[in-house]
Chain A
Amino acid sequence: MFSINEAIEGWKQELAGRQTMIASDIEELEAHLQDEMDSLSIAGLSEEESFVIASRRIGNPDSICQEFAKINATVIWRNRFFWMIMGIVLIQIISKFASFFAFIGTIIGCQLIGWNPLIVGVISAGIQFAIMLWLCLGLYFAAVKLSVFQRLRQKTQIRIIIVVIGLNVLLGVLLNLGVRFWYTALLVRLGAEKVGQIAIGDTYKAFGLSILWPIVWLTLLIWLMPKKTPAEQRQTAAH
């Protein structure tokens, strides 16, 4: 069964998906679509027919979005910049979170397997890497595949921003205060030797991750490299 509301919603989603049109642009085009559909149905066409014709007259979403991209360049880059900053803040939160659990996990792991700087390094690097990878993948899925953030109302968006920044500050303060407290507690409970091994293990971890992360970033950057639209390709060819 053809549902006119679903068809219009799908059409709007398609325009919004290219990220070059802002909400008011789409609203304006929708009003145009409705006007055109009204006049077509007065002429005797069915809802489905008038939708098909009206949307075709408005034009191919790709080329419309390209035209809007030229007009909205500032807005588009502002939006991209928003996500860059959001990304930095989220990565900070995730890595603080991950390093906390890596620390706890390492102590538990070493109590079970045995104490050795290499084991400390491998376990804590492994835990930290795994947690960060999974959280990043989850965020990617939520942000890109489901475009969760864009679907929220502005009030909710602002709340999320405040929560994210708050979490960043809170985790930072807690971890900085916590580290001093934990090391003292660990010295008392485990003794100087094991704490020393944790410290050496941390160096191994830092070394391992400093090689692992660039590989991950490289893979991600190549995978996500911005695709060129046909018009941009023609421009590059012309130069």
Chain B
Amino acid sequence: MNLSKDLVAASATPLVLSILAEGDSYGYAIIKRAADLSGGVMQWTDGMLYPILHRLESQGLIASEVRIADTGRKRKYYRLNETGSAVIETYQTQWRTVYATLNKLWETKLCLA
């Protein structure tokens, strides 16, 4: 199954924020986590994640810091802050509303059939 481009784009922000709610992380690991959780369905072109992360950072939802990884390479870690956590709640309400609305329709249809 392939998700439509629009849906992937719309869900990227809540997905990234929610993954960061599990703990600080960096780009590569965020992509792996999203792929694992969705069984490989939620996949961006890898490079596209970084502009999203930078936008969230400039919006003040996440903060970044450079740490040195075990491999000795520099790695930019992102951390969710309080504003970001609050935004996740807004997203939850929105996505649950969409899901519930569609579900009501689909369940009724099933009953009628």
Chain A residues within 8 Å of B, Cβ to Cβ: 24-25, 27-29, 31-32, 34-36, 38, 57-60, 63-64, 67-68, 70-71
Contacts and interface: CB of A to CB of B under 8 A. Distances in A.
A58 B47 contact: yes
A57 B46 contact: yes
Q: Chain A binding site: helix, strand, loop or mixed by DSSP?
A: helix
Contacts of B55: 71
B112 interface: no
B47 A64 contact: yes
17 contacts: A27-B74, A29-B50, A31-B26, A32-B27, A32-B47, A32-B50, A38-B71, A58-B45, A58-B47, A59-B47, A63-B48, A64-B47, A64-B51, A68-B51, A68-B54, A70-B51, A71-B51
Contacts, number: 56
B46 A58 contact: yes
Interface in B68-104: 69, 71, 73-76
A35 B74 contact: no
B50 A28 contact: yes
A38 B50 CA distance: 20
A36 B28 contact: yes
